[in-house]
Amino acid sequence: MKTIFSLAVLLIFTNLACGQTENKPAKETTITVGDGCEGCEAVYESPVPFEELSHIDTLPGFEAAETKLEISGVIYQPDGITPAPGIVLYIYHTDQNGYYSKRGSETGRHGYLRGWIKTNDKGEYKFYTLRPAPYPNASFPAHIHPTIKEPGKTEYWIEDFVFDDDKFVNDSYRKNAENRGGGGILTLEKNEYGIYTARRDLVLGKNVPNYK
């Protein structure tokens, strides 16, 4: 009797172990792209698992009485034509004083003004946030940092989102822009709700070094 019981228990644990092994995702082969990306690993600090991310996000503080932005677009495959679903876009920026400030006990490296989006089946993304300020005593335009994470590739940075009406988006800035992922200069238009809207479509790997 003990022998039969022991065999039954052994079979149960064997089946459980087999089930757990089968449910584990296959180890991803990751291709290294880009030329270094300081801080890009923060994409993995998402409080929501990648598979549960929406294609729309609203960054903290959007309810404040400041200039509100709605930025949207489509992320395309390297051919620039085919929409790219399931691409994670991590964004972060300064506050209205030009600092990467925190609220309380955040452990993330980029302050509290940040968000995570994953493109939908049409490659679409959208986020709402407040317009950031430039760094204090600097001559660089106010900007929103974007990081891309594709399946099978390391995370990499693309051109900052900047604003066409920013005094620092001058001829020199435009001339030296690398246009990674496509041009990042936004033209803002105010909608009926008082929100400034802009569109930026992105192309995976465009002008990104070592992209394969």
Tokens coding 37: 């990306």
Mind listing the pLDDT tens digit for each residue in 131-166? Answer: 999 999 989 999 999 999 999 999 999 999 999 999
The larger pLDDT score, comparing residue 73 to residue 103, is at 73
For β-strands 114-118 and 56-58, DSSP reports them as: unpaired
212 vs 178: CA distance, rounded Å: 18
Residue ranges covered by each domain of the chain: 31-203
Q: Which of 36-50, 56-70, 97-111, 184-198 has the lowest mean pLDDT?
A: 97-111
Nearest to 42 by CA among 206, 172, 194, 157: 157
* pTM, entire model: 0.85
Question: CATH top-level class for 31-203?
Answer: mainly beta
Torsion, Cα 149 151 154 158, to 10 degrees, reads -30
